[in-house]
Amino acid sequence: MLPNLAGLQKLAYRDGMRFAIADPPYIGQAAKHYGDHPDYAGEVDHDELIARLCADYHAWALCCSSPSLQTILALCPEEVRVGAWVKPFASFKPGVNPAYAWEPVIFYGGRKRGRDLPTVRDWVAENITLKKGLSGVKPAAFCFWLFEFLGCEPGDHLHDLFPGSGAVTAAWESWCARKTGAAIQSPLFAEALG
Ligand SMILES: C[S@@+](CC[C@H](N)C(=O)[O-])C[C@H]1O[C@@H](n2cnc3c(N)ncnc32)[C@H](O)[C@@H]1O
C-alpha cells in the first residue's frame, strides 16, 4: 500500500526533507553492465524499491529507461511526473536504429517552487559521461536538474541509493555549497556551470 502524498506533504520539515535519488540498473541490464561490480545483487526488484521510496522519503527521483517505463509507471503512485534526460551525444549501438538517446526520470513529491524561483523544465539536455570507469555515471548538470525539480534545499537529506561512482552525492555537495555560497570544491560543479 503506497502512502498518500498529500498526507506526507503535511509533515513538518523542521530538520530538512528526506530525498532519495534512485539510479538502479535498467531492468534486464543489471548482470550485463554490473555483474562484476561489488554492489551487484541481481536484478533490482522495482516493486519493492518504489514501495520503499514512498515509505521512507518525502520525495524522490527514479531513473529508468524508455523500454521499462510502462512497467515501472504501473508500480508508481498516480501523482508522479515523468521528466526526460535527452542526450545530444549518446552511445549508438550497431543495429539499433532509432537509437535510445533519452532516459525517463520519474519524480514523486518535493517542494512547491514559488514564483520567486526560475521555472524548471521537465527535461534536461546533457551529454552522457565517458571514461568514468563505470557504465551510467550521471553528469553533474543532470543531477542539478533533479535537485531543482524536486525543490531541494541545502540542509535537506539526500540519499543516493545506487551510488556507483558517487557522482550524485558529489553533485549534491557541490550544489549545496553553491546555494549556501560556500566554496565550490568539486570539479564536477565547475564543469557543469562554467
Ligand atoms: C546506473 S549505476 C549508478 C550510477 C551512479 N548514479 C553514478 O552516477 O555513478 C547502478 C549501480 O547499481 C549497482 N547495482 C547493480 N545491481 C544492484 C542491486 N541489485 N542492488 C543494488 N545495487 C546494484 C551497480 O553495480 C551500479 O553501481
Q: Give tens-digit pLDDT for 11-64.
A: 546 678 999 999 999 999 999 999 999 999 999 999 999 999 999 999 999 999
- Which atom of ligand 1 is found nearest the CA of 63? 1
Number of domains forming the structure of the chain: 1
| Nearest Cα residue to atom 16 of ligand 1 | 40
Q: How far apart are CA 156 and CA 36, in angstroms?
A: 33
Let me know if residue 190 belongs to a domain.
no
Contact predicate 162/49, CB 8 Å: no
Let me know if residue 169 belongs to a domain.
no
Let me know if residue 12 belongs to a domain.
yes
| Nearest Cα residue to atom 15 of ligand 1 | 40
Let me know if residue 100 belongs to a domain.
yes
CATH code assigned at 83 = 3.40.50.150
Let me know if residue 86 belongs to a domain.
yes
Let me know if residue 1 belongs to a domain.
no
Let me know if residue 122 belongs to a domain.
yes
Query: Which structural domain range is residue 70 located in?
Result: 6-164
What is the tens place of the pLDDT at every residue in 7-24? 555 454 667 899 999 999
Entry pTM: 0.89
Let me know if residue 184 belongs to a domain.
no
Q: Kindly state if the Cβ of 165 falls inside 6 Å of ligand 1.
A: yes
Q: Kindly state if the Cβ of 86 falls inside 6 Å of ligand 1.
A: no
How would you class 95 by CB atoms within 10 Å of its CB: exposed for 0-12, middle for 13-18, buried for 19 or more?
exposed
